[in-house]
Amino acid sequence: MTDESSFIYRFEPGTRPGAPPLLLLHGTGGDENDLLQLGAMISPGSAMLSPRGRVLEHGMPRFFRRLAEGVFDEQDVRKRALELGAFVEDARRRHSIAAPVAVGFSNGANIAAALLLMKPDALAGAVLLRAMVPLSDPPKARLDGKPVLILSGQADPIVPASNAARLSAMLADAGAKVTLRTLPTGHQLTQADVSLARDWITSVDAQVA
């Protein structure tokens, strides 16, 4: 297990009572500052917990190792997901926040999906932006209606829409309440992602607050 001090991170206290806390998880090459603006746009007033990935790939932070593009070191995925879950538990105690909704992009979305499958109690739900199936043989998770939004890109050269559909089915089979939307875009985020994520968080506020 790990402790909170093992992650470099940013914490922004919440300013709106009842707003769900967010766990912001950046993509490859990002850091703890990358998604703060996105978090503020999709859920104004939420507390925001934003760690930096601890794996370096050619100097770029990530949340787990990969063997090639789209080919994950699944043993490392499992290890890093549990470490992230322990970090979230420690941070919740330190900052007195409820279980957060993960908001992850690309590599960050993949580790968020792995965390849902490995340690479901760590999260209240998730917004997965350009996510892939993180584990070919995941543990039998019980997600018990946790809300999950998956936004994929129809022209994404990294994540085929079919892979996002497989992830959606995997999480739904584990009991999550999954909303999958495929947008007419590539791997990059668009204003449509922001709008859809904001509307979705508003719609599930009562479930995750």
Nearest one of 44, 53, 115 to 86, comparing CA atoms: 115
- Is there a catalytic annotation at residue 106? yes
Catalytic residue among 152, 156, 168, 193: 156
d(CA 209, CA 200): 13
Cβ atoms of residues 90 and 77 within 8 Å: no
d(CA 174, CA 138): 10
Catalytic residue among 31, 76, 187, 205: 187
- Is there a catalytic annotation at residue 187? yes
The strand ranges marked E within 107-176 are 125-129, 147-153
The strand ranges marked E within the chain are 9-12, 22-25, 48-51, 55-57, 60-62, 66-68, 71-72, 101-105, 125-129, 147-153, 177-183
Catalytic residue among 43, 46, 50, 106: 106
**Any idea which residues carry the catalytic annotation?**
106, 156, 187
